[in-house]
Amino acid sequence: MAQHDDGVTAPDDDAVHTGARTGTAIQVAAERDESPGIGVVQTDKVINPGFPPHNPRQTDLVPAKDKRAERQVAILFFLSIIGSIFALAAYIAFPINPGDFGSIRTNNLLLGLGITLGLLGIGLGAVHWAKQLMREDESVELRHGTRGTEATREKAVEVFTLGNEESGIGRRTLIRNSLIGALVLTPVPAIALFRDLAPIADPVYLLQHTMWKTGTRLTHDPTGVPIKASDVTLGSAFHVIPEGLLQRSDALEQKAKAAVLLMRLKPEDLHVSAGKESWNYDGIVAYSQICTHVGCPVALYEQQTHHLLCPCHQSQFDITQEAKVIFGPARRPLPQLPITVDSNGYLVARSDFHEPVGPDFWEREL
Amino acid sequence: MRKSTTSQPKVRKAGRRSPMASVALIMIGLFATGGVYALFTASASANTTAATSQLTTEGSKLFAANCATCHGLNLQGTKQGPSLIGVGAASVDFQVSTGRMPLAASGPQAEEKPAQFTTQQIQALYTYVAAQAPGPGIPSKQYLGGNGNAAKGAELFRINCAMCHNVAGAGGALTEGKFAPQLTGVSAKHIYEAMATGPQNMPVFNDQNITPTQKADIITYLKYLDKNPSPGGIDLGNLGPVSEGLFLWIFGLGAIVGVTIWLTAKAN
């Protein structure tokens, strides 16, 4: 039977041993006599029921079971050894061949299985060992105050006082103040560096304008080939980037704002509001691909229903009604790019978008 | 048959081919079925206009019996179905040989099912429809071999197709019960025809939008995906966070709960 000799001592003055076999550490805290506070009725206090009677484990009672548990723990540790060796062997035997994705899968799978077995074997073995074989008894560890002893506290004060005396930091105010000044100024370069991570130009201007200008040709994504109005047959959907985008160094940033979906509907299907009559060309309409909800690319166009679906949050826009929101969390219709054709028959923008593309931002007026 | 063959004016090769040879070729064209598309196009191109006229006649009968209820006897369309004037052979071949047409029941969209006609009947149908008005034709075999540029095809696929069909071609949901179907295992011809004709709610990607070479690149990419599925292991349907999240919630959290119970349980 386990003996209580591991240093967990029961305070003798407020704990008594009841209901437990002699020699165990099972203890029940005694009820306090003093009032724990005003208004608390003493008789309402929950009585500490103490520990339930100790049930010895099978491994404590049957030596054969003890032996078996010992073997199980050892087997788990051996499995860990096998796993680690397996991982090493698999790493050598199944190398990653450049260009062969299948080899990466085999390599990663076998390596992962080996390392998993190596770690889990140790972990499971240790837990099994602790649960089945290590000494098992219930005990209470009382919580202690965190205040140090008077001697410790005095010693700490003494160390600081001595440090002050020896360095003279309290006395030599010139050194102290110049040190404080130096420390305050050290983060200043970091502030300047991080500040310049932001765009130099006015972010509000950048959010309100895209690359599209009067006369910019509509071109194919990703080839940059200009699109003729005659290319866009009924029911077509073209993914469009502005001409000259591919030559720009900030092509991706510009594309994120300027991407456009070009569709052709029957002109009689379009319900064009006043002032926007010239924005489409013979049923060809161009809308921003950037969702007005949180900016996902909206391009799931259905050519019969003329619905445009955003895959992120299921906002639906009706192209026949100038991309009006007919379902979902988007609040505003997709901005329309006014288009026309130039003298060579190529589709060109009449102007930039008349409102900022994409989701809301603080300074947005529309 | 012989009479109609000989009475037809021969456009070309008339001097080099006897009437008997024409009849033989027609017979081959009509009866060599078995679903081998390559054989089929070869015989079709070798056929004379007489064969086309024969197919058109057969197609018109099939059309009147199976399609005209909705699409109208003259392909003009009715309230139940759209006009088929100018849809072209590619559209008819796609819709009928994937079983989407004839429609089993009206619903959000026509779904794929076993084809209701033989290859020969399908050829007759599309020949008939294509003869009424020009439209996208059956794609040339040179674009269907899957020997294009898979990397370019993948880029085009991500730009033009992935938003609906998923970047791995696993398909995805659309509005009001419609969906973009899965593209794994779809034949190269059907992929090409779908791009060229825009079946149902799919937009049209004509040859000016995506050139035939680019279409061949996209087909090459999809065929590459068919041959090299998921290098990362089990793909869980390639549906992204939905299936992966569900898997982790059930099996990952389940394992954690199980281990926690085992760790804290008292040994007996």
State the best of A119, A136, A305 to mutate against chain B, taking most chain B CBs within 10 Å: A305
B263 to chain A: which residues are within 8 Å by CB?
127
Structure tokens at B107: 């619903």
CA atoms within 13 A on the CB side of B252: 7
Contact by Cβ (8 Å): A86, A52: no
pLDDT digits over A3-52, tens only?
Answer: 444 444 444 444 444 444 444 444 444 555 555 566 656 666 778 888 88
| CB-based contacts of B220, cutoff 8 Å, min separation 6 | B146, B147, B148, B149, B150, B153
> Please, what is the average pLDDT of chain B?
84
* The two three-digit tokens of residue A76, written as one number: 């788990």
| Average pLDDT rounded to a whole number, residues B225-254 | 87
pLDDT at A12 (0 to 100): 42
B164 contacts on A by Cβ (under 8 Å): 300
Domain B144-229, what fold?
Cytochrome Bc1 Complex; Chain D, domain 2 (1.10.760)
CB pairs under 8 A between A and B: 86
Q: What is the largest CA-CA distance in chain A?
A: 106
Residue A55: band (very low, low, confident or very high) from pLDDT cuts 50, 70, 90:
confident
Per-residue tokens: B75: 């392909």
Q: What is the ipTM of this complex?
A: 0.73
Fold (topology level) of B1-138:
Cytochrome Bc1 Complex; Chain D, domain 2 (1.10.760)
**Residue of higher predicted confidence among A265 and A55:** A265
d(CA A55, CA A196): 68
Cα–Cα distance for residue pair A286/A291, rounded to 1 Å:
14
Mean pLDDT of B164-175: 90
Query: pLDDT tens digit string along A304-359?
Result: 999 999 989 999 999 999 999 999 999 999 999 999 999 999 999 999 999 999 99
Partner A contacted by B172 (CB < 8 A): yes
The letter for the amino acid at A237 is A
Domains of chain A: residue spans and CATH: 58-132 (no CATH), 150-195 (no CATH), 209-349 (2.102.10.10)
User: Cβ separation of B204 and A303 shorter than 8 Å?
Assistant: yes
For residue A237, the model assigns a pLDDT of 93
Is the per-residue pLDDT at B24 higher than 80? no
Closest by Cβ to A309, choosing from B174, B204, B268: B174
Residues A324, A326: Cα–Cα separation, whole Å: 6
Look at strands A347-349 and A284-288 and give their pairing.
Answer: unpaired
**What percent of chain B shows pLDDT beyond 90?**
48
For residue B163, which residues of chain A lie inside 8 Å, CB to CB?
297, 299-300, 311
Tokens representing B117 are: 């006609």
Domain layout of chain B by residue ranges: 1-138, 144-229, 241-268
Task: Mark yes or no for CB contact B159/A222 under 8 Å.
Answer: yes
| DSSP letter string, B90-143 | HHHHHHHHTT-SS-SS-SSS------SS-HHHHHHHHHHHHHHS----PPPGGG
pLDDT for residue A306: 93
Do residue B200 and residue A305 have CB atoms under 8 angstroms apart? no
Of B205, B231, B266, the CB nearest to A104: B231
Q: Which helix (H) or strand (E) holds A254?
A: helix A251-258
Give me the torsion for CA of B141, B142, B143, B149, rounded to 10°.
150
- Measured between beta carbons, the chain B residues lying within 8 angstroms of A311 are 163, 172
Query: Sorting pLDDT into bands at 50, 70 and 90, what band is B188?
Result: very high
Q: Which of A228-232, B79-83, B218-222 is least confident?
A: B79-83
**Of B192, B195, B175, which is closest to residue A301 (Cα–Cα)?**
B175
User: How high does pLDDT run on average in chain A?
Assistant: 86
Inter-chain contact B204–A233, Cβ cutoff 8 Å?
A: yes
Q: Are A281 and A347 in contact (CB under 8 A)?
A: yes
pLDDT at A56: 87
B158-168 average pLDDT score: 92
Q: Residue B205: its chain A contacts at CB < 8 A?
A: 236-237
Could you read off the pLDDT of A260-280 as tens digits, one per residue? Answer: 999 999 999 999 998 898 999
Task: Please say if the pLDDT value at position B4 is more than 60.
Answer: no
Q: What is the pLDDT of residue A337?
A: 95
Q: Which of B202, B204, B233 sits opposite A105 (nearest CB)?
A: B233
Residue A198 — pLDDT band, cuts 50, 70, 90?
A: confident
Q: Report the distance separating Cα B118 and Cα B93, nearest Å.
A: 11
- CB contact at 8 A, A137 and A54: yes
* pLDDT of A57 above 60: yes
Instruction: State the best of A236, A241, A347 to mutate against chain B, taking most chain B CBs within 10 Å.
Output: A236
